[in-house]
Structure 1
Amino acid sequence: MGVVIRGVILDESVLLAPQRDDDLHANGSLQPGAESLLRKLRHSKFRTGITYGVGLSDHKVSLLKMMTATYSFDSFILNSSSIDDAKHEIMLAWGDIGGILYLVSSEKKEVFPKLSNCGWLIVALRLLGQESADVIEDRSACEDSSIFYINQIEELPLTVCHLNRKAIGSSVVTVGYIMKPSREDDFAKRGAFPMYPTQNGLMFFPLMLELPLSPQLQEVDIVLHKATDEIISIDLSSSTNFSNRIAYTRGMQELQRYMEHHPDCCVIDPFNNIYPVVDRLKIQEILLQLEDLNTEGRCTIRGPHFLKVDNFNELDLVQRLSEAKLSLPSIVKPQVACGVASAHNMAIVFRIEDFKDLSVPLPAVVQEYVDHSSTLYKFYVMGENVFHAVKKSTPNANMLMKLSESNGLKPLVFDSLKSLPTANDDKHCGCDNYSKATNHFIDLELVTDAANWLMRKLDLTIFGFDVVIQDDTGDHVIVDVNYLPSFKEVPDDIAIPAFWNAIKMKFESRKSN
Structure 2
Amino acid sequence: MILLLSRFKYRSVSEIPVEIPWNHSELMIHESLLIHDYATPSFHSSANSLLRKLRHSNLHIGISFSPSLPHNKVSVLKKMAKEYSFDCFLLNDESSVDGVNEITLSWGDIGGEILFLVPSDKKDAFGQLSSFGWIIVVFDVEGAGACESSGVVCISKLEELPMIICASIRKATGDEVVTVGYIMKTSREEDFAKRGAFPMNPTPNGLMFLPLTFELPLLSQLQLVDIVLHKATDEIISVDLSGSSESSNRITFSTGMQELQRYMEHHSDCFAIDPLDKIYPVLDRLEIQQILLGLDALNKESCRAIRGPHFLKVNGFNDPDLAQNLSEAKLSLPSIVKPQVACGVADAHSMAITFRVEDFKDLNVPLPAIVQEYVDHSSTIFKIYVLGEQVFYAVKKSIPNANVLTKSSELNELKPLLFDSLKSLPTSTGHSTVKPDWYFDDSYYNYELAYKSTSSHALSHLFCCGGENQIQDGTGDHVIVDVNYLPSFKEVPYDIAVPAFWNAIRHKFESRKRK
2:28 corresponds to: 9
1:403 corresponds to: 408
The CA RMSD measured in Å over matched residues stands at 2.0
Separation of aligned partners in 1, 2:412 and 2:383? 31
Counterpart AA for 2:33: V
2:47 corresponds to: 34
Q: Is the 8 A contact 1:463 1:484 kept in 2?
A: yes
Unaligned runs of 5+ in 2: 1-21
Q: Is the 8 A contact 1:348 1:412 kept in 2?
A: yes
Alpha carbons of structure 1 residues 118 and 312: separation in structure 2 relative to 1, 3 Å: same
Instruction: State the 1:226 CA deviation.
Output: 0.4
Compute the TM-score of the two structures, normalised by the length of structure 2: 0.91
Instruction: State the 1:129 CA deviation.
Output: 2.2
Alpha carbons of structure 1 residues 371 and 55: separation in structure 2 relative to 1, 3 Å: same
Correspondence for 2:491 among 489, 492, 497: 489
Counterpart AA for 2:433: K
Does 1 or 2 have the higher relative contact order (CA < 8 Å, sep 6+)? 2
Alpha carbons of structure 1 residues 213 and 60: separation in structure 2 relative to 1, 3 Å: farther
Alpha carbons of structure 1 residues 494 and 297: separation in structure 2 relative to 1, 3 Å: closer
Separation of aligned partners in 2, 1:223 and 1:154? 18
Per the alignment, in what secondary structure is the counterpart of residue 474 of structure 1?
coil
Alpha carbons of structure 1 residues 420 and 266: separation in structure 2 relative to 1, 3 Å: same
Q: Is the 8 A contact 1:5 1:160 kept in 2?
A: no
Q: Is the 8 A contact 1:28 1:59 kept in 2?
A: no
Correspondence for 1:249 among 236, 250, 254: 254
1:378 maps onto 2:383 in alignment:
yes
Q: For 1:106-152, what per-residue CA distance to the aligned partner results, in whole angstroms no more than 9, with x for missing partners?
A: 211222332213321211111x2233xx34xx42xx32xx3211111
Per the alignment, in what secondary structure is the counterpart of residue 360 of structure 1?
coil
Q: Is the 8 A contact 1:27 1:60 kept in 2?
A: no
1:79 corresponds to: 92
1:174 maps onto 2:179 in alignment:
yes
Alpha carbons of structure 1 residues 244 and 62: separation in structure 2 relative to 1, 3 Å: farther
Separation of aligned partners in 2, 1:166 and 1:285? 48
1:22 corresponds to: none
The 10-residue stretch of structure 1 (3-12 or 319-328) with the greater mean CA deviation from structure 2:
3-12
Separation of aligned partners in 1, 2:438 and 2:235? 35
* Residue-pair matches, total: 492
Counterpart AA for 1:385: Q
Counterpart AA for 1:426: S
1:107 maps onto 2:154 in alignment:
no
Alpha carbons of structure 1 residues 103 and 331: separation in structure 2 relative to 1, 3 Å: same
The 10-residue stretch of structure 1 (83-92 or 211-220) with the greater mean CA deviation from structure 2:
83-92
Instruction: State the 1:235 CA deviation.
Output: 0.8
Q: For 1:58-103, what per-residue CA distance to the aligned partner results, in whole angstroms no more than 9, with x for missing partners?
A: 5643542232021011111112111122112212211121321111
Q: Is the 8 A contact 1:7 1:100 kept in 2?
A: yes
Separation of aligned partners in 2, 1:34 and 1:205? 17
Correspondence for 2:432 among 426, 434, 439: 426
Q: Is the 8 A contact 1:433 1:442 kept in 2?
A: no
2:110 corresponds to: 97
Correspondence for 1:441 among 444, 464, 484: 444
Correspondence for 1:45 among 24, 48, 58: 58
Instruction: State the 1:435 CA deviation.
Output: 4.9
Q: For 1:264-318, what per-residue CA distance to the aligned partner results, in whole angstroms no more than 9, with x for missing partners?
A: 4221100011010010000000100110111165210000000000000001000
Separation of aligned partners in 2, 1:301 and 1:460? 20
Counterpart AA for 1:404: S
1:216 maps onto 2:221 in alignment:
yes
Q: Is the 8 A contact 1:26 1:59 kept in 2?
A: no
